[in-house]
């Protein structure tokens, strides 16, 4: 992304992962609101009193794990494979056959311990500690060090990879100093904040700055809604708190943009509004429970908005609906644009997963959609996000396009045929898949610009099903006569269904040649 000067999102977390300046380190990834502090204040003369009050509630976290023993002390190592993997012996035999004369396999080295350092904060005097998941991920031992250097063994109550939040429990013979959560929704850009943590393993360190921005999406997950701050955050700060001037936690420090791995004044924190919900669930249930709608969505571009008769590009376009899910029960269907959910406007696609996730499971909420040129109000009952929900993997590259007598769609760079049995076999198209087959895409055409390929199936055009190449040509012609600048197609490809807007050029323009 930044070729000449690699600028990467770095986990403000563990020292064990200080591999390179451009290493990726997502200290937290999550969705939700923003920091707390209500009114603008004058520049404080000093943060000393506040820091003195807050430091006892911030802890250093050390986690360690045992790594597999090295099999060879001399020459190349056998790669690490899962226990029982047949590849381990294969590589061992290969390296033995190719070992230089006189070089013997060394004795097996003892298992190695790897340590990770991070930060956390106490939210309950009984010993409940919040940190980042990546600080303790894979650890078989976790210790918490208090401000007075007392070291306590910690157990993991729960952790959540999607938000990069973890909750620990320590036992002490006396109540521990705790810090409260604040309301990150109330914070404003320009508000003063303090970050406290354990950068580079140095121990309790206080830095000050302001809220630089809200609602940042740094492409680290479906719930990105980070607070950006210029308070210095470095590796080892992960899991530490971001405070407002009331001494309330309004963020969990997480990631930084950096060329060197150190702070350049661009740090990111998980908003407390989201964190509080996840922390409570991890504490009570050992896992996070999220609302679920059962849709696959994509961004509404200006071209898509135009093709659907919307005045502005807003909302989340439903690419597909999962059978039996809440959306299907509510009669939401592919091609709908969700513009409002539970009373909250969906300005961008990325807003919807976060809002749905935060909605109470089992609650019936109103949903506003755009369909057939007008708004429609529905109701849906929010389900629980399945633990095993994953993105579909991409399929292998497709074979060469079919021969035949395809129909060309003027101005779009597409050649189409019906789906024949031969086509189904060649392109691995399911027996129940309906639509029209793309057999050829002209270079530098509108279709090529949008990533269409031979083997894709056009299922709908302008939200109407198509069964033949003639149907596609007819829908495109109608869109042109309606003075649309683009036409919307539902494409079934190797990665699943997606909506694609294609610019409609006059028949005598932009013809591939």
Count of CB atoms situated within 10 Å of the CB of 48? 10
Q: Which of 229, 254, 288 is the last residue before a domain boundary?
A: 288
pLDDT of residue 180: 97
Q: What is the CATH number of the domain that holds 356?
A: 2.30.42.10
pLDDT grade, residue 86 (50/70/90)?
Answer: low
Kindly indicate the confidence band of residue 30, based on its pLDDT and cuts at 50, 70 and 90. Answer: very low
Residues contacting residue 387 through CB under 8 Å, at least 6 positions apart: 287
Of 27-41, 95-109, 421-435, the one with minimum mean pLDDT is 27-41
Is residue 147 in a domain? Answer: yes
Residue 325 annotated as lining a ligand binding site: no
4 is in an annotated binding site: no
Q: Do 319 and 279 reside in the same domain of the chain?
A: no
* Cα dihedral: 66, 72, 77, 79 (round 10): -50
Range of the domain at 22: 1-69+110-288
Same domain, 377 and 445: no
Q: Are residues 202 and 321 in the same domain?
A: no
pLDDT in tens, 190-201: 999 999 999 988
Distances (CA, A) of 326 to 31, 381, 420: 21, 6, 34
Q: Is 287 helix (H, G, I), strand (E, B) or coil?
A: coil
pLDDT at position 416 is: 92
Q: Where are the beta strands (DSSP E) in 133-187?
A: 141-145, 151-160, 165-170
Q: What is the CATH number of the domain that holds 215?
A: 2.40.10.120
Report if residue 205 sits inside a domain.
Answer: yes
pLDDT band at 510 (very low <50, low <70, confident <90, very high): very low
Would you say the C-alpha torsion 221, 223, 228, 231 has a positive or negative sign?
negative
Can you tell me the distance from the alpha carbon of 360 to that of 289, in angstroms, rounded to the nearest whole number?
A: 9
Both 146 and 261 in one domain: the answer is yes
Residue 449 is assigned to a structural domain of this protein:
yes
- Give CA torsion, residues 345, 348, 352, 355, to 10 deg: -60
Residues 447 and 412 sit within 8 Å (Cβ to Cβ): yes
Q: Are residues 155 and 239 in the same domain?
A: yes
Which of 80-84, 384-388, 396-400, 505-509 has the highest mean predicted lDDT (pLDDT)? 384-388
**Structural domains of the chain, count:** 3
Q: Is 237 annotated as a binding residue?
A: yes
Distances (CA, A) of 337 to 55, 296, 334: 48, 11, 9
Q: What pLDDT sits at residue 28?
A: 34
Quote the pLDDT of residue 435.
92
187 and 215 assigned to the same domain: yes
Res 66 pLDDT > 60: yes
Catalytic residue among 14, 63, 119, 134: 134
- Taking residues 14-41, report their average pLDDT: 41
**Is beta strand 205-216 parallel, antiparallel or unpaired with respect to 58-67?**
unpaired
* Burial track 126-161 (b if 16+ CB lie within 10 A, e otherwise): ebbbbbbbbbbbebeebbbbbbeeeebebebbbbbe
- 230 is an active site residue: no
Q: Is 133 annotated for ligand binding?
A: no
pLDDT (0 to 100) of residue 254 = 86
Q: Is 401 within a domain?
A: no
Judged by average pLDDT, the poorest of 27-41, 100-114, 204-218, 494-508 is 27-41
Q: Which pLDDT score, from 0 to 100, does residue 23 have?
A: 36
| Strand 241-243, strand 249-258: pairing | antiparallel
State the pLDDT confidence band at 26, using cuts at 50, 70 and 90. very low
Asked if residue 372 belongs to a domain, the reply is yes
* Domain boundary, last residue among 264, 288, 312: 288
Q: Which residue has the higher pLDDT, 511 or 504?
A: 504
Is position 5 annotated as part of the catalytic site?
Answer: no
Q: Is 134 a catalytic residue?
A: yes
Rounded mean pLDDT, 424-451: 89
What are the DSSP calls for 496-508, one per residue? EEEEEEEE---TT
Q: Are residues 418 and 277 in the same domain?
A: no
**Which one of 63, 119, 238, 445 is the catalytic residue?**
238
CA distance to 87, 310, 352, 507, per residue, from 225 (Å): 42, 26, 12, 44
pLDDT for the residue 21: 34
Q: Do 193 and 141 have their domain in common?
A: yes
- What was the pLDDT predicted at 264? 87
**Bridge partners of residue 167, in order along the sequence:** 130, 158
Asked if residue 335 lies in contact with residue 318, where contact means CB atoms within 8 angstroms, the answer is: yes
Provide the pLDDT for residue 464: 86
121 with 262, same domain: the answer is: yes
Report the pLDDT averaged over residues 1-25: 42
Look at residues 351, 384, 417 and tell me which one is the last residue of a structural domain: 384
Q: How far is CA 231 from the centre of its chain?
A: 24
Q: How far is residue 456's CA from residue 478's CA, in Å, rounded to a whole number?
A: 23
Residues 230-255: what's their mean pLDDT? Answer: 94
Does pLDDT of 93 surpass 60? yes
Note whether residue 512 is domain-resident.
no
| Domain shared by 139 and 243, yes or no | yes
Is 236 annotated in a binding site? The answer is: yes
The catalytically annotated residue of 72, 160, 164, 191 is 164
CB 26 within 8 A of CB 253: no
pTM higher than 0.95? no
In a domain, 60, yes or no: yes
Write down the pLDDT at residue 330: 94
Is residue 470 within 8 Å of residue 435, measured between CB atoms?
no
Same structural domain for residues 309 and 240? no
Residue 99 lies in a domain: no
Question: What is the C-alpha separation between 410 and 447, in angstroms, rounded?
Answer: 11
Mean pLDDT, the chain, as a whole number? 81
Of 112-116, 312-316, 368-372, the least confident: 112-116
Please, which pLDDT band fits residue 398 given cuts at 50, 70 and 90?
very low
Residue with the bigger pLDDT between 91 and 484: it is 484
Q: Supply the pLDDT for residue 471.
A: 87
How confident is the model over 173-189, as pLDDT tens digits? 999 999 999 999 999 99
Residue 245 and residue 150 in one domain: yes
pLDDT in tens, 98-112: 666 665 555 555 667
């Amino acid at each position: 992304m930044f070729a000449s000067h690699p600028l990467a999102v770095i986990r403000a977390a563990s020292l064990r992962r200080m591999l390179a300046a451009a290493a990726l380190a997502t200290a937290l990834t999550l969705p939700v609101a923003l920091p707390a502090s209500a009114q603008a204040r004058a520049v404080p003369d000093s943060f000393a009193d506040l820091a003195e009050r807050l430091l006892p509630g911030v802890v250093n976290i050390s986690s360690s794990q045992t790594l597999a023993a090295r099999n060879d002390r001399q020459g190349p190592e056998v790669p690490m494979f899962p226990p029982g993997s047949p590849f381990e012996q294969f590589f061992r035999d290969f390296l033995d056959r190719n070992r230089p004369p006189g070089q013997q396999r060394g004795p097996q080295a003892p298992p190695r311990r790897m340590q990770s350092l991070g930060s956390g904060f106490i939210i309950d005097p009984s010993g409940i500690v919040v940190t980042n998941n990546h600080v303790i991920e894979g650890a078989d031992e976790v210790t918490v060090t208090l401000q007075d250097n007392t070291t306590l063994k910690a157990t993991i109550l729960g952790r959540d990879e999607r938000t990069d939040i973890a909750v620990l429990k320590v036992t002490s013979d006396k109540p521990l100093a705790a810090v409260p959560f604040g309301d990150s929704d109330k914070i404003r850009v320009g508000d003063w904040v303090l970050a406290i943590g354990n950068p580079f393993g140095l121990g309790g360190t206080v830095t000050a700055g302001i809220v630089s921005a809200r609602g940042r999406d740094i492409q680290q997950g479906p719930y990105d809604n980070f607070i950006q701050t210029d308070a210095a955050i470095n590796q080892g700060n992960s899991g530490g708190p971001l405070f407002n001037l009331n001494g309330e936690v309004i963020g969990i420090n997480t990631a930084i943009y950096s060329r060197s791995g150190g702070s350049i004044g661009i740090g990111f924190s998980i908003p407390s509004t989201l964190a509080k919900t996840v922390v409570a669930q991890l504490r009570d249930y050992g896992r996070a429970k999220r609302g679920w709608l059962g849709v696959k969505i994509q961004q509404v571009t200006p071209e898509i908005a135009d093709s659907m008769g919307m005045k502005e590009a807003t909302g989340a376009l439903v690419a597909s609906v999962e059978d039996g899910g809440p959306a299907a029960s509510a009669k939401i269907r592919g091609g709908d644009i969700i513009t409002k959910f539970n009373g909250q406007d969906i300005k961008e696609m990325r807003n919807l997963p976060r809002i749905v996730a935060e909605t109470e499971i089992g609650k019936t909420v109103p949903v506003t959609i755009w369909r057939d040129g007008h708004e429609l109000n529905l109701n849906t009952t929010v389900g629980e996000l399945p633990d095993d929900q994953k993105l579909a993997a991409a399929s292998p590259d497709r074979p060469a396009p079919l021969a035949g007598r395809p129909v060309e769609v003027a101005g779009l760079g597409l050649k189409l045929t019906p789906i024949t049995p031969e086509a189904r076999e060649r392109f691995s198209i399911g027996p129940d898949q309906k639509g029209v087959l793309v057999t050829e895409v002209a270079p530098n055409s509108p279709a090529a610009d949008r990533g269409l390929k031979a083997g894709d199936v056009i299922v709908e055009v302008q939200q109407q099903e198509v069964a033949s190449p003639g149907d596609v040509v007819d829908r495109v012609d109608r869109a042109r006569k309606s003075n649309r600048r683009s036409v919307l197609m539902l494409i079934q490809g190797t990665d699943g269904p997606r909506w694609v807007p294609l610019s409609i050029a006059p028949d005598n323009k932009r013809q591939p040649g």
